[in-house]
């Protein structure tokens, strides 16, 4: 698919089948994430790829508690790519956000549905989140930027909302 058409047609999906995405496709999506632009190419973000159902469900429960719900905030998606970024870099939030964008656009290019799920910051600021990072061997001062959930849509693709007026101001 043409890169511009891919960006224009990608939509967030909020209902997934439980079918697992192949590891080969997940790796290709992650690779695209690692090529996101970062401030001075310092590459402050890291990606934690979660396909283990037990850990995925634990993360979902943490996220739901923060949101104040019992519902699955990951909408049954079987894959969660957690993007964190090193707070020592002044551009870490922007760097991590660009990684999230690359992940979602790459997923769409491979026919995989995605959605950005928030509350990663709160999750990994909690004692449970910090303990999880230590358990995974991740050291440093990282802030959660977002969860990129991946899977196969179990719904129709939403239509795009019209673009707002005055989205662009030209200075010629």
In this prediction, residue 1 carries a pLDDT of: 62
When pLDDT is cut at 50, 70 and 90, the band that residue 117 belongs to is very high
Measured distance CA(129)–CA(151) in Å, rounded: 24
Over residues 60-87, mean pLDDT: 98
Least Cα distance to 38 among 79, 81, 99, 102 occurs for: 99
Domain extent listing, the chain: 12-151
pLDDT in tens, 34-70: 999 999 999 999 999 999 999 999 999 999 999 999 9
Over residues 68-79, mean pLDDT: 98
Tell me the CATH number for domain 12-151. 3.40.109.10
Q: Is 2 exposed, middle or buried, given 0-12, 13-18 or 19+ CB atoms closer than 10 A? A: exposed
DSSP, collapsed to helix, strand or coil, labels residue 100 as helix
pLDDT in tens, 152-166: 999 999 999 999 999
């Amino acid at each position: 698919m043409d890169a511009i058409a891919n960006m224009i047609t990608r939509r967030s999906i909020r209902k997934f089948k439980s079918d697992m995405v192949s590891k080969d496709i997940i790796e290709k999506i992650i690779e695209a994430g690692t090529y996101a632009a970062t401030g001075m190419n310092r590459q402050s973000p890291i990606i934690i790829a979660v396909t283990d159902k037990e850990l995925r469900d634990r993360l979902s429960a943490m996220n739901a508690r923060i949101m104040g719900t019992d519902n699955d905030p990951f909408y049954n998606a079987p894959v969660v790519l957690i993007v964190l970024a090193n707070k020592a870099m002044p551009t870490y939030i922007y760097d991590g956000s660009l990684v999230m964008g690359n992940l979602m656009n790459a997923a769409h290019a491979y026919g995989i549905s995605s959605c950005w799920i928030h509350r990663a910051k709160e999750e990994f600021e909690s004692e449970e989140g910090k303990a999880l990072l230590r358990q995974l061997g991740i050291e440093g001062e990282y802030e959660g930027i977002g969860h990129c959930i991946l899977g196969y849509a179990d719904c129709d693709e939403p239509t795009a909302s019209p673009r707002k007026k005055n989205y662009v101001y030209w200075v010629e």
